[in-house]
């Protein structure tokens, strides 16, 4: 279909799960990609697969909690592809789990840094480059945890993911009139390594009206909608791709 022809996209957390599925789909839809994850080898394998299928991808390994990583991603987008149109801030962590009073401050800060501060840092570098092209699409992977429900032992994760909604609204207030669309994507349970073992996945499936968890490719399709011109009047929104999870709480 070529929904992303002549577009350049940054995707973080692109070596596995939702990020990998989005990278493969965005490339198939015509985007030139700059991919990020902490692990070099797995990231390179995704890029090689894209290029082997006729797509275009560059890799920038690094920790998204560090400003330098985002500066390098944006620089690579400009150097290799002339600019930036789309950024899918997908890298994240469940973090240390446990009752809130048992969470160490360092563990709290790490979860917030990975899930929320990284999104701020990415936006800070991405928005100026998008403005040079007259606008762009920012997509953030949030969660039903912290927005529609709380789950035991996940207060730090919930706070970080709920914070993304505030970031989306703030960016929208600041930049929507300039062509920047910021939206959050809220998956339910997804069949990735973060979902845990089979017993945990089965438990998670029961939370959803559809009584199953998603395939990563299903969440990537929702991200494609937010990345493409199909969502041209969608800004500041929370798109639940959660199998009816929020609807039955």
Would you write out the chain's pLDDT as a tens digit for each of its 249 residues? Answer: 699 999 999 999 999 999 999 999 999 999 999 999 999 999 999 999 999 999 999 999 999 999 999 999 999 999 999 999 999 999 999 999 999 999 999 999 999 999 999 999 999 999 999 999 999 999 999 998 888 888 899 999 999 999 999 999 999 999 999 999 999 999 988 887 776 788 888 888 888 889 998 899 999 999 999 999 999 999 999 999 999 988 887
* Residue that is written with structure tokens 């989005």 in the block: 22
- The rounded distance, in Å, linking the Cα atoms of 165 and 141 is 10
> Catalytic annotation on 175?
no
Report the predicted TM-score, pTM, of the whole model to 2 decimal places.
0.94
Tokens of 130: 């998008």
- If we measure between CA atoms, which residue out of 204, 174, 211 comes closest to residue 190? 204
In the set 157, 188, 228, 239, the catalytic residue is 157
- If we measure between CA atoms, which residue out of 218, 221, 198 comes closest to residue 210? 218
With beta carbons less than 8 A apart as the criterion, state whether 18 and 141 touch: yes
CATH of region 8-248: 3.40.50.720
Task: Catalogue the E-assigned strands of 110-216.
Answer: 136-141, 180-187
- The rounded distance, in Å, linking the Cα atoms of 17 and 187 is 12
Tokens of 97: 């789990």
Task: Catalogue the E-assigned strands of 30-187.
Answer: 32-36, 56-59, 86-89, 136-141, 180-187
């Amino acid at each position: 279909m070529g929904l992303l022809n002549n577009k350049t996209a940054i995707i973080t957390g692109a070596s596995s799960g939702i990020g990998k599925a989005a990278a493969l789909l965005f490339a198939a839809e015509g985007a030139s990609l700059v991919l990020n994850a902490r692990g070099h080898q797995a990231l390179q394998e995704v890029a090689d697969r894209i290029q082997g299928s006729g797509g275009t991808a560059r890799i920038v390994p690094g920790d998204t909690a560090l400003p330098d990583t985002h500066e390098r991603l944006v620089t690579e987008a400009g150097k290799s592809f002339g600019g930036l149109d789309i950024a899918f801030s997908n890298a994240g962590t469940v973090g240390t789990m446990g009752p809130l009073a048992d969470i160490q401050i360092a563990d709290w800060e790490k979860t917030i840094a990975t899930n929320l501060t990284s999104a701020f840092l990415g936006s800070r570098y991405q928005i100026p480059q998008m403005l040079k092209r007259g606008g762009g699409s920012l997509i953030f992977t949030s969660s039903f945890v912290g927005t529609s429900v709380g789950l035991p032992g996940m207060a730090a994760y919930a706070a970080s993911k709920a914070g993304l909604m505030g970031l989306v609204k703030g960016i929208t207030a600041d930049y929507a009139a300039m062509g920047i669309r910021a939206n959050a994507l809220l998956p339910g349970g997804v069949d990735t390594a973060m979902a845990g073992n089979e017993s945990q996945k089965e438990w998670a499936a029961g939370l959803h009206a559809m009584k199953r968890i998603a395939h990563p490719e299903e969440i990537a399709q929702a991200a494609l909608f937010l990345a493409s011109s199909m969502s041209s009047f969608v800004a500041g929104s929370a798109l639940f791709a959660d199998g009816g999870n929020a609807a039955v709480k």
